């Protein structure tokens, strides 16, 4: 697989066992993280790995000269490279030093040898000579005796054990010793009776003698001492533990090198009395002393946390919640010749030296004092020194009173300023986000439930120790409180005792960017979260970036699908096996791409929470809280909570802020918020908070929302008005009766009748009369050419009506939107009908929303829409009778100047089958005839302001006007309505007739 031939180039500067590949070939093979290269040359086969650097030419591979010599390669030799995709991991690698000199170097560098092997080698071959560089100039050669499992080659990682046997030592050792160096994996080797370094005296002579005995350990008491050495080396090289870092303060009774760990989280097989090397992810090291604290100060979780001083964090360039590794150092070798002290201010050397000696004696009564190279030590309140250890290559030492007698303490004349370290203070524990939020009971319960779920699934407390996916999807309209809910969750979990890390990714800012760029940014976010886990990733407005796509193969749909695939892949990859939770926000579930959210199959989000609109009591609480910081004048919160029906939290904030603005305009020194300010603000905010909704609610305190008297009644439709009053007004007038009813209230009315009978006019009139919020929709407005768009328009329409409840949703020309299914070749109206059925009688119901549909062709509607529980109240709008026609003539002519000779009953008798629209046409024509006559009589300059309409004008207009419905049309409509209402038996083939929109 991916075979290529290359010429070998030797590079002495390469200090590892990797090969350097041309950039073109490296791009091909670099995606296979677990792969290796098979080199074939002169009937030999050898397996190697590659390094990120590239060689200079496309036909060359570079390799270290010593490594090439050991595997039998020379300069300019040709090799054939073949990619091996998946290389197994080795459990054990048994090694033997090639020479006695190699073994001596290994003994002296035992603490670094395993790290060097892992850094310089990835692929190991059986029976090869493995070269390991201890530093730039010293290298050792090891023979690979055998591999476990028994393979010819394999891959090593941090779980592999490297076992080195000193078989080449002279006969006085008899080959009986064994030095086990394990890689960075925890070991359960018991402590035995070996005492830690802090339990012994630390004199220069004793430690030097101990080090020499370790070199010649085979000469006396070989068996016992080698067992002890084996345990020491095992503890030193094979045990480490990873902690998250939080910052603490540097108190007077502690050192900068003191760290604090929960005693329960401390591994039982590791001795806290030892010195530990604290290593950051960037390989910066500092030697520290462990202080075990009680479990009450840190919460016991599977994510152990370590507290170090903020000063040390600055020295090591550490950030909060980054990972560090603690590795034990069981043997301390003190070859310190001198300790130099650099004071932070000009001080006599004797004062500095004496202060340091007093400090050491006070701190070493129980355990020796640990000092790092260039460590800052606070001797007194105003005297701070920087410790220099000579020889300089020593990174640390341990001192006590005995050490002071045998080593030289020297106070240098040089002043070293350490204010940049001393002035560092730990961050004050304050909320990440503002805690000034309004408490709502239902909202608070949602916050508590989600926090408990995250604590449990991320193992943030002791109740659970098994990681589970804890991805959460929050849905709700803009301003519903999704961001506030997320901020409250983060405020709770990022602080003590959970110390969660979080990253916020705003999807809106990435809209329109390439999928590769989005993937790169998201991968960076998740990688940071892994380093500081447990973590929470917030994907704000995910539906903007991973929007739902249609079935058409358009460029936009392909883009949304690619983005959704990227999001799904990364979330699954990083949350399945890591303590990372994702919280995504969206306006609604259906706006998400099906590759991110699917109602079936495996779910990316385990918890979906929808934030509904505010109830009246909640709005009243919010209004009171928003007005609590300003002086008010008898505000009627209850009334404005009713008038702001459909407002969410964000809308209420804008409403009150604008009212406060009006109050400040009147008085900048002492503004007082009054009902007049609220009234004026409400008129303004209704225009954009309820956009697309006709709001006929009044803010007048003297008006009654439930008033049903109006002098401008719709004549001829009094019975229809009574039915609509029952459906629309009774539930609000008698809430106790309807709330206690076990049955669902009627929420759908169908108005049908010939064209021009006033169906649309009636609904508009009643909406103003009863102060109702109304959303008017012409049927074809919701239909779109793209697949899925029409159904989304229907969903958005009903969601908008629910957000503005109580609301009247009026469908005009309903037959064009919801005809009978099965007769549409494109299937658009069939899917729209299905969506309407779901919205009208779904699980959520239509609480607070009343649907009124108007049509002149009810027989064309799909019968399922008219089933009980949906649009089940059928009301016919008939043609006006004689008395109704007289009333219509009188009502429509109230603004006209009529002569005493006008007799509307004359025209009412002769206007049978006339609709209200026809009667209005007669009056309009009569007015135009009268104006034309006045212009001819008086001229344009002397025409009077009011023109009198006489009986002759009406008669002329009536004779020239034809009714919109002929007698045959009326009869046809009557027969159709009779069949529709089952008042007349339908013909045998009526059901099978094809429905049309004609």
53 compared with 887, residue with greater pLDDT: 887
- Residue 882: how many other CB atoms lie within 10 Å: 12
φ, ψ for residue 326 (rounded to 5)? Answer: -105, 125
Q: Is the pLDDT of residue 797 over 50?
A: yes
pLDDT tens digits, residue range 591-610?
Answer: 888 888 876 667 888 889 88
φ, ψ for residue 398 (rounded to 5)? Answer: -120, 125
Of the listed ranges 307-316, 357-366, 694-703, 806-815, the one predicted with least confidence: 694-703
User: Where are the CATH 3.10.330.10 domain residues in the chain?
Assistant: 92-235
The CA distance from 153 to 175, in Å, is 27
User: Where are the CATH 2.40.40.20 domain residues in the chain?
Assistant: 4-84, 240-331
User: Where are the CATH 1.10.8.60 domain residues in the chain?
Assistant: 616-689, 882-964
CA angle, residues 905, 907, 911, in degrees to nearest 5:
120
Mean predicted confidence (pLDDT) in 613-633: 81
Mean predicted confidence (pLDDT) in 277-299: 79
Let me know: does 313 contact 398? Beta carbons within 8 Å: no
- Residue found under tokens 């390094």: 51
DSSP state of 508: G
Give the architecture (CATH level 2) of 882-964. Orthogonal Bundle (1.10)
Sign of CA dihedral 583, 588, 594, 598: positive
Fold for the domain defined by 616-689: Helicase, Ruva Protein; domain 3 (1.10.8)
Q: What percent of the chain has pLDDT over 90?
A: 10
pLDDT of amino acid 504: 92
Let me know: does 792 contact 548? Beta carbons within 8 Å: yes
Mean predicted confidence (pLDDT) in 854-870: 87
Cα 130 off chain centre by: 47
Q: Is the pLDDT of residue 323 over 50?
A: yes
Tokens of 254: 């502690």
pLDDT of amino acid 210: 40
Q: How far is CA 68 from CA 10, 72, 98, 154, in A?
A: 8, 6, 17, 19
Beta-carbon-side half-sphere exposure of residue 335 (alpha carbons within 13 Å):
11
Let me know: does 278 contact 323? Beta carbons within 8 Å: no
The CA distance from 793 to 220, in Å, is 90
Of the listed ranges 392-406, 670-684, 733-747, 909-923, the one predicted with least confidence: 733-747
Taking alpha carbons only, the member of 368, 466, 350, 364 closest to residue 409 is: 350
Residues 6+ apart with CB under 8 A from 681: 655, 656, 658, 659, 662
The CA distance from 331 to 230, in Å, is 12
Extract the runs of DSSP E, i.e. beta strands, from 14-109. 19-21, 36-41, 44-48, 50-54, 60-63, 78-84, 92-97
The CA distance from 469 to 447, in Å, is 18
The CA distance from 874 to 853, in Å, is 10
pLDDT tens digits, residue range 923-946?
Answer: 999 989 988 888 887 777 677 778
pLDDT interval class at 990 (50, 70, 90): very low
Residues 6+ apart with CB under 8 A from 241: 186, 267, 270, 304, 325, 326
Mean predicted confidence (pLDDT) in 31-44: 87
* Burial state string for 965-984 with b = 16 or more CB within 10 A and e = fewer than 16: beeeeeeebbebbebbeeee
Of the listed ranges 109-118, 213-222, 672-681, the one predicted with least confidence: 213-222
Q: Is 795 helix (H, G, I), strand (E, B) or coil?
A: helix
CA angle, residues 75, 76, 77, in degrees to nearest 5:
95
The CA distance from 432 to 500, in Å, is 12
The CA distance from 758 to 713, in Å, is 12
The CA distance from 344 to 744, in Å, is 82
Element (H, E) at 218: none
DSSP one-letter string for 85-140: ---PBPSEEEEEESSHHHHHHHHHTHHHHHHHHHHH-SEEETT-EEEEESSSS-EE
Tokens of 694: 């006709």
Taking alpha carbons only, the member of 507, 522, 633, 637 closest to residue 580 is: 522
φ, ψ for residue 715 (rounded to 5)? Answer: -75, 145
Per CATH, the number for 4-84 is 2.40.40.20
Tokens of 972: 């046809």
pLDDT of amino acid 538: 94
Give the architecture (CATH level 2) of 718-876. 3-Layer(aba) Sandwich (3.40)
pLDDT of amino acid 751: 92
pLDDT tens digits, residue range 831-841?
Answer: 888 888 888 87
Superfamily of domain 441-610: P-loop containing nucleotide triphosphate hydrolases (3.40.50.300)
Per CATH, the number for 240-331 is 2.40.40.20
Burial of residue 272 (number of CB atoms within 10 Å: 0-12, 13-18, 19+): middle
Domain 335-427 has CATH 3.40.50: no
pLDDT of amino acid 342: 92
Q: What percent of the chain has pLDDT over 70?
A: 81
Per CATH, the number for 92-235 is 3.10.330.10
Mean predicted confidence (pLDDT) in 899-922: 87
Q: Is the pLDDT of residue 244 over 60?
A: yes
φ, ψ for residue 379 (rounded to 5)? Answer: -80, -45
- Residue found under tokens 């005009």: 812
User: Where are the CATH 3.40.50.300 domain residues in the chain?
Assistant: 441-610, 718-876
Is pTM, for the whole model, over 0.85?
no
Residues 6+ apart with CB under 8 A from 209: none
Burial of residue 246 (number of CB atoms within 10 Å: 0-12, 13-18, 19+): buried
Q: Is the pLDDT of residue 817 over 50?
A: yes
Cα 319 off chain centre by: 22
Q: Is the pLDDT of residue 733 over 70?
A: yes
The CA distance from 318 to 312, in Å, is 8
Let me know: does 168 contact 100? Beta carbons within 8 Å: yes
pLDDT of amino acid 708: 37
pLDDT tens digits, residue range 198-209?
Answer: 333 343 333 333
The CA distance from 683 to 640, in Å, is 12
Mean predicted confidence (pLDDT) in 51-64: 80
Q: Is the pLDDT of residue 36 over 50?
A: yes
974 compared with 615, residue with greater pLDDT: 974
The CA distance from 523 to 539, in Å, is 13
pLDDT tens digits, residue range 508-552?
Answer: 898 888 889 999 999 999 998 888 888 999 999 998 888 887 666
DSSP one-letter string for 829-878: HHHHHHHHHHHHSSSS--TTEEEEEEES-GGGB-GGGGSTTSS-EEEE-P
The CA distance from 99 to 631, in Å, is 90
């Amino acid at each position: 697989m991916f075979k290529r031939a290359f010429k070998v180039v030797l590079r002495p500067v390469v200090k590892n066992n990797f090969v350097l590949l041309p950039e073109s070939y490296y791009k091909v093979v670099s995606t296979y993280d677990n792969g290796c290269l098979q080199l074939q040359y002169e009937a030999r086969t050898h397996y190697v790995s590659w390094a990120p650097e590239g060689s200079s030419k496309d036909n060359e591979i570079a390799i270290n000269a010593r490594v090439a010599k050991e595997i039998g390669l020379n300069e300019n030799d040709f090799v054939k490279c073949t990619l091996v995709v998946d290389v197994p991991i080795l459990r054990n690698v048994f090694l033997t030093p090639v020479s006695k000199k190699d073994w001596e170097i290994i003994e002296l560098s035992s603490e670094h040898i395993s790290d060097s092997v892992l850094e310089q080698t990835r692929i190991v071959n059986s029976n090869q000579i493995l070269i390991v560089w201890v530093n730039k100039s010293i290298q050792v050669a090891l023979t690979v005796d055998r591999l476990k499992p028994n393979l010819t080659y394999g891959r090593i990682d941090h779980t592999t054990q490297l076992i080195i046997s000193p078989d080449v030592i002279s006969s006085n050792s008899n080959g009986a010793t064994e030095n086990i160096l394990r890689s960075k994996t925890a070991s359960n080797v018991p402590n035995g009776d070996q005492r830690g370094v802090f339990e012994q005296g630390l004199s220069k002579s004793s430690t030097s003698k101990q080090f020499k005995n370790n070199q010649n350990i085979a000469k006396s008491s070989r068996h016992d001492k080698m067992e002890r050495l084996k345990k020491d080396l095992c503890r030193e090289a094979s045990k480490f533990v990873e902690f998250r870092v939080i910052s603490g303060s540097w108190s007077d009774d502690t050192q900068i090198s003191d760290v604090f760990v929960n005693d329960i989280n401390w591994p039982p097989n590791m001795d806290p009395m030892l010195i530990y090397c604290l290593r950051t992810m960037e390989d910066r090291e500092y030697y520290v002393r462990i202080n075990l604290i009680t479990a009450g100060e840190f919460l016991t979780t599977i994510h152990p946390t370590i507290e170090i001083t903020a000063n040390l964090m600055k020295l090591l360039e550490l950030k909060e919640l980054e990972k560090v590794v603690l590795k034990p150092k069981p043997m301390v070798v003190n070859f310190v010749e001198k300790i130099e002290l650099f004071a932070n201010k000009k001080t006599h050397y004797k004062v500095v030296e004496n202060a340091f000696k007093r400090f050491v004696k006070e701190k070493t009564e129980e355990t020796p004092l640990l000092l790092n190279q260039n460590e800052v030590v606070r001797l007194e309140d105003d005297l701070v020194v920087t410790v220099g250890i000579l020889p300089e290559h020593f990174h640390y030492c341990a001192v006590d009173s005995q050490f002071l007698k045998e080593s030289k303490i020297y106070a240098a004349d040089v002043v070293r300023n350490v204010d940049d370290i001393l002035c560092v203070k730990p961050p004050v524990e304050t909320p990440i986000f503002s805690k000034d939020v309004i408490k709502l009971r239902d909202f608070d319960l949602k916050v508590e439930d989600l926090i408990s779920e995250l604590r449990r699934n991320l193992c943030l407390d002791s109740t659970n120790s098994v990681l589970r996916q804890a991805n959460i999807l929050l849905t709700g309209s803009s301003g519903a409180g999704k961001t506030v809910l997320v901020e409250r969750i983060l405020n709770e979990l990022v602080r003590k005792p959970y110390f969660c890390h979080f990253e916020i990714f705003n999807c809106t800012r990435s809209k329109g960017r390439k999928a590769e760029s989005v993937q790169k940014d998201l991968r960076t976010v998740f990688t940071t979260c892994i380093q500081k886990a447990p973590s929470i990733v917030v994907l704000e407005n995910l539906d903007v970036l991973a929007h739902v796509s249609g079935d058409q193969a358009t460029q936009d749909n392909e883009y949304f699908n690619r983005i959704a695939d990227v999001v799904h892949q990364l979330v699954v990859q990083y949350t399945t096996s890591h303590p990372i939770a994702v919280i995504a926000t969206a306006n609604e579930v259906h706006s998400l791409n099906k590759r991110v959210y699917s109602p079936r199959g495996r779910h990316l989000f385990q918890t979906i929470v929808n934030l509904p609109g505010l109830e009246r009591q909640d709005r009243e609480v919010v209004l009171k809280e928003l007005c609590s910081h300003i002086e008010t004048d008898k505000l009627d919160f209850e009334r404005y909570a009713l008038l702001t029906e459909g407002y969410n939290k964000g809308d209420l904030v804008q409403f009150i802020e604008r009212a406060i603005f009006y109050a400040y305009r009147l008085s900048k020194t002492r503004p007082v918020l009054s009902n007049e300010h609220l009234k004026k603000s409400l008129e303004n905010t209704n225009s954009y908070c309820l956009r697309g909704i006709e709001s006929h609610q009044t803010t007048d305190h003297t008006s009654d929302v439930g008033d049903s008297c109006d002098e401008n009644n719709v004549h001829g439709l009094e019975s229809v008005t009574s039915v609509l009053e029952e459906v629309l007004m009774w539930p609000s007038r008698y809430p106790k009766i309807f709330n206690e009813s076990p049955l669902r209230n009627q929420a759908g009315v169908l108005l049908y009748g010939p064209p021009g009978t006033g169906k649309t006019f009636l609904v508009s009139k009643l909406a103003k009369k009863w102060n109702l919020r109304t959303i008017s929709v012409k049927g074809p407005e919701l239909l779109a050419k793209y697949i899925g768009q029409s159904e989304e328009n229907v969903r958005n329409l009903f969601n908008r009506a629910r957000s503005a409840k109580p609301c009247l949703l009026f469908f005009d020309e309903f037959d064009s939107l919801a005809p009978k299914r099965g007769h549409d070749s494109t299937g658009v109206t069939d899917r729209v009908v299905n969506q309407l059925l779901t919205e009208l009688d779904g699980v959520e119901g239509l609480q607070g929303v009343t649907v009124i549909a108007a049509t002149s062709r009810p027989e064309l509607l799909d019968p399922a829409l008219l089933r009980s529980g949906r649009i089940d109240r059928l009301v016919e709008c008939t043609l006006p009778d004689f008395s109704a026609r007289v009333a219509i003539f009188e009502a429509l002519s109230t603004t006209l100047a009529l002569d005493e000779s006008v007799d509307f009953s004359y025209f009412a008798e002769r206007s049978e089958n006339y609709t209200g629209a026809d009667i209005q046409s007669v009056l309009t024509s009569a007015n135009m005839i009268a104006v034309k006559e006045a212009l001819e009589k008086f001229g344009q300059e002397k025409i009077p302001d009011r023109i009198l309409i006489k009986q002759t004008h009406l008669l002329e207009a009536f004779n020239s006007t034809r009714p919109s419905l002929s007698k045959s049309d009326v009869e046809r409509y009557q027969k159709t309505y009779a069949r529709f209402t089952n008042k007349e038996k339908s013909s045998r083939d009526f059901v099978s007739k094809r429905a049309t929109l004609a």
